[in-house]
Amino acid sequence: MSAPTDDAAITAPTDTDPAEQPWRRLSVRVVWVDLAKTVLSLAPGVVAVGFFDVEPTLSTLWPLLLVALFGGLGAVTDIVRWAFTSYRVTETEIQRRTGAFVRRHRTVHLDRIRSVDTHAKLRHRAAGLRVVTVGAGQQNGAGEAALLLDALSKDDAARLRRELLGLAAPAAENADTEPDAEVLATLRPWWVVYNMFSVWAYLMAAGLLWGLFWLVSTFGVDLYGAASRAADWDALGWLGVTVAVLVVGGAVGAIGMGVNFFTAYWKFELARVRTGGSTHLRTRRGLFSTREVNRDEARLRGLSIGEPLLWRWMGMADTNVITTGLSVWDMEQPTAILPRGPVRVARRVAARVLGDPCPLDAPLPRHPRAALRRRLWWATAIGMVPPAAVAVPVASGSASPWVLWAAFGLWPLALSGAVFAYLALGHAIAGEYLVVRSGLMSRTTSALRCDAVSTIAVRQSILQRRLGLSTVSAMTAAGWSAYEAPDVAAGEAVGFAAQAAPGLIDEFAEGLGDDGGHVRID
């Protein structure tokens, strides 16, 4: 695509004086990739105008013009970005300078780096480019990576990753498994079943059909008209039409999700990579766009497995690591170490990551019945809000009575939700880990290392006080920042809190061990 000479001059060997590390640049191929992308996105329109005699008026051409305009602008900004961005790795830190009008100079200490993430879209791969994201602790939760380099040539990216993670240069470049990598899981094709069905399928179907509609309308085909003529919609009635749309949309969406899953998780592999003193959990995946994430195990604070309510019967589970420095809000889910898949696999992998006996397999005793009563009360209270809101209008005749009955419909749904939420509750201390389980829509079991707990809180509402319950929260810098054990028996709460954060509350506790002996005195 472009001559490799672009990079060669800039990335000269850097074994010279460490203080005088030369600044390195992004790959100039970024600009070409951008231009090529613009040309490609113009292609359908050009083909339509050139070969299909579509009349080139302003109304048919405005999408093309917009695409060309934005593409051109993108290429210009990329040239500017390329010209003004440089980075270097010194003994102790990585530095990046960027920005044309506002100069930014960012420095990240090497020992603060929690993760190095390499990914490439198809266009990057065609041009031999990689985007490198470096994650450090303080940006956790802000949704911003510490440092993003978009994009480096493949060799530069590999070299940077080695420098940042302190890896030795591998014998064979891009070998799939190094001798020091212990593979924990690889893709099983049938996991696609777990990834085809979700509410997002409908969004996907809508996107696909909308894109198709616009694409063929450029060629002068009216898809909507064709669909209208294909069936006698009036005969179906609105119920029939709804069902047909749901079924067709769901099918299109499910197939789309399936294809999407395979392209995203092709050649998926989770491995533990040992290098010198540190180990990393590394995932690699992707068919067209590839992604490799390295997570420092020294930053690992635990693991959580979420089981969505609607799919629990088929044992569907999401597996995420609890770690500092990786954003839980990232759309690409860098904390997920497995694709959505069977819970058996999730537990097996969890045991290998956290060690045997796995804290996630610890037995979690059921919470007191009062916790169920609290949930039922809340469900009732929430279920009564809609009827209360429409009570006056219905009573005075401004709204018809069926509105009131419809408003009551939420109640039974809320009550059954309360039961499921109660059954999900659980908490325990397993070895060095604190294990909590809760959640209605997604029952999430989290194991968090006790030494990672920074603040401990015990909360009690009026209703909880009457029912003899407390909620214990363990705050940490990693993952979701707070992990809660809702509705622990009040007498047990302080004991649990004391064990969850060893030594922290001892000086404030009194009468430890007097009531039941579930509290350690040391």
- Binding residues (CB under 8 A) for other proteins: these are 112, 137, 140-141, 324, 388-389, 391-393, 396, 398, 452, 454-462, 465, 468, 470, 473, 475-478, 481-482, 490-491, 493-495, 501, 504-505, 507-512, 514-515, 519
- The separation between CA 78 and the C-alpha centre of its own chain, rounded to angstroms, equals 27
400/454 with CB nearer other proteins: 454
10/505 with CB nearer other proteins: 505
134/501 with CB nearer other proteins: 501
Minimum CB separation of residue 457 from other proteins in Å reads 4
Minimum CB separation of residue 494 from other proteins in Å reads 5
Minimum CB separation of residue 491 from other proteins in Å reads 5
Q: Rounded to 10 degrees, what is the CA torsion of 139, 74, 94, 335? A: 40
Minimum CB separation of residue 134 from other proteins in Å reads 17
Q: Is 97 helix (H, G, I), strand (E, B) or coil?
A: strand
Tokens 């990240």 -> residue: 108
Amino acid at the residue 128: G
Minimum CB separation of residue 142 from other proteins in Å reads 9
Amino acid at the residue 148: L
264/281 with CB nearer other proteins: 281
Minimum CB separation of residue 202 from other proteins in Å reads 33
182/515 with CB nearer other proteins: 515
Report the C-alpha gap between 3 and 280 in whole angstroms: 35
Minimum CB separation of residue 26 from other proteins in Å reads 30
Among 166, 154, 250, smallest CA distance to 201 is for: 250
Alpha helix stretches (DSSP H) within 2-57: 5-8, 29-51
310/482 with CB nearer other proteins: 482
Take residue 39 and report the two structure tokens written for it.
């040309």
164/456 with CB nearer other proteins: 456
Distances (CA, A) of 254 to 192, 200, 202, 354: 10, 9, 8, 34
208/504 with CB nearer other proteins: 504
What phi and psi, each to the nearest 5 degrees, are found at residue 518? -90, 5
Find all residues with CB under 8 Å of 120, minimum gap 6, and list them.
Answer: 129, 130, 131, 151, 286, 289, 290, 291
365 DSSP assignment? P
Minimum CB separation of residue 471 from other proteins in Å reads 9
217/460 with CB nearer other proteins: 460
Q: Is 436 helix (H, G, I), strand (E, B) or coil?
A: strand
450 DSSP assignment? G
Minimum CB separation of residue 143 from other proteins in Å reads 12
Minimum CB separation of residue 378 from other proteins in Å reads 13
Beta strands in 209-329 (DSSP E): 269-275, 278-285, 290-296, 300-308, 316-323
Take residue 237 and report the two structure tokens written for it.
């009635």
260/460 with CB nearer other proteins: 460
Sign (positive or negative) of CA dihedral 23, 152, 105, 134: negative
Report the C-alpha gap between 438 and 422 in whole angstroms: 8
Q: Is 218 helix (H, G, I), strand (E, B) or coil?
A: helix
Tokens 């635990």 -> residue: 302
328/343 with CB nearer other proteins: 328
Task: Please count the residues of the chain.
Answer: 522
Residue 293 near residue 115 (C-beta atoms within 8 A) = yes
Q: Helices 200-218 and 233-265, interaxial angle, to 10°?
A: 100
Minimum CB separation of residue 297 from other proteins in Å reads 14
